[in-house]
Amino acid sequence: MIVTFTINGEERSATVAGWESLLTVLRDNLGLAGSKNACEQGECGSCSVIVDGANLCSCLVMVGDCEGTTITTVEGIAHGSALHPIQQAILDEGGVQCGFCTPGFVITAAHLFAADPNPDEETMREAFSGNICRCTGYGALLRAFDRLAEDGT
């Protein structure tokens, strides 16, 4: 089947098997490999994308169910060549190590701060609890998010 959606502001179509995951189609059909495949069970958040305003694990979204949706992936966060303030804060605080989880954190942060520019620490811990990081121990990420929350970005 052919699915058409708006990805990062651009209308895209793909010929897919409807049961395939949105993640597979993003990575293998549309050249958007920024969303990462680390577990395929919705247990790590590395593939997080925003679909019609909801932050979802794209590995658990069937692409056939995406017709007409509006999707934001990590590739759509930066403003041209300039990093988004969320990305800049993570970079400045040392929140990137291996970086495999990073796209998921960027997306979850974009989703969280769009809804709540000043979340408290516990809210942030819970909001990011579906994003596993194996390298940083989350400290630098939390410091970046604290900074963003203080700035009300």
Partner 1 sequence: MHFLAAGDLSTALDARAEHPEAELLAGGTDLMVEVNLSYHRPAGVIAVRSCEELLEWEGRRIGAAVTWARLEDGPHRALGQLARTIGSPQIRAAGTLGGNVATASPAGDGLPWIAAVDAEIEVASRSRGTRIIPWTEFFVGVKETTLAPDEIITAILLPEQMPVSQEFAKVGVRNVMVIAMVNCVVARGDDGFRVALGSVAPVPIRAYRAEEMINAETSISDAALTEFARIVSDEVRPITDHRSTEAYRRHASGVLARRLVERCLAA
Partner 2 sequence: MTVGTKERVAAGIGESAPRPDGVAKLSGNFAYGSDLWIDGMLWGATLRSPYAHARLVELDITPAVVMSGVRAVLTQDDVPGRPTFGQVEQDQPVLCDGVARYWGEPVAIVAADDQETARAAVEAIIVEWEPLPPVTDPDQARAAGETYRDMVIRRGDADAAGSVVIEGEYETAIQDQAPLGPEAGLAIPDGSGGVDLHVTTQWIHIDHAQIIASLDMEPDDVRCHPVGIGGAFGAREDISLHIHVAMLALRTGRPVRIVYDRTESFAGHVKRHSARMRYRHEADDEGRLVKVTVDMVLDGGAYAHTSHAVLANASFFTVGPYKCDNVFVDAAVSRTNNPPAGAMRGFGAVQVCFAYESQMDRLAEALGLHPLEVRRRNALGPGDPMATSGQIVEGSLPTLRVIDELEAIPMPDAAIPDDPRRLPGGTGLTTPKDAVVRGVGFALGLKNLAFSEAFDDFSEVLLVLTPAGLEIHTAAIEVGQGLVTICEQIARTVLGIQAVAWVSADTSQIGSAGSTSASRQTQMTGGAVYEAAVGLRDKILQQFGGDELTNDGVYSGGELVATLDAVTADAPIEQWVRYRHPPTEEPDEFGQGNPHAGFVVAAHRAVVDVDPELGLVRVVQIDTAQDVGKALNPQAIVGQLEGGIAQGVGFAIMEELILEDGVILNPTFTDYLIPTLLDMPDVGSRLIEEPAHWGPFGAKGIGESPTISSTPAVVAAIRAATGRPLTRVPVRPQDIAGV
Residues that bind partner 1 (CB under 8 A): 1, 17-19, 21, 40-43, 45, 48, 54-57, 59-62, 64-65, 67, 108, 126-127, 129-131
Closest separation in Å from C-beta 82 to partner 1:
27
> In the numeric block, which tokens belong to residue 60?
């658990």
Cα 53 to Cα 24: distance, rounded to the nearest angstrom: 20
Q: Whole-angstrom Cα distance, residue 3 to residue 17?
A: 9
48, interface contact from partner 2, partner 1, none, CB < 5-8 Å by kind: partner 1
99 close to 30: Cβ distance less than 8 angstroms? no
Residue (6 or 40) nearer to partner 2, CB: 40
The most distant pair of C-alpha atoms in the chain lies apart, rounded to whole Å, by 46
Smallest distance from partner 2 to CB 17, Å: 9
* CA distances for 29 relative to 11, 65, 87, angstroms: 14, 16, 26
Rounded to a whole number of angstroms, the minimum distance from the CB of residue 48 to partner 1 is: 6
In the set 38, 116, 146, 147, which binds partner 2 (CB under 8 A)? 38
Measured from the CB of residue 130, what is the shortest distance to partner 2 in angstroms?
A: 8
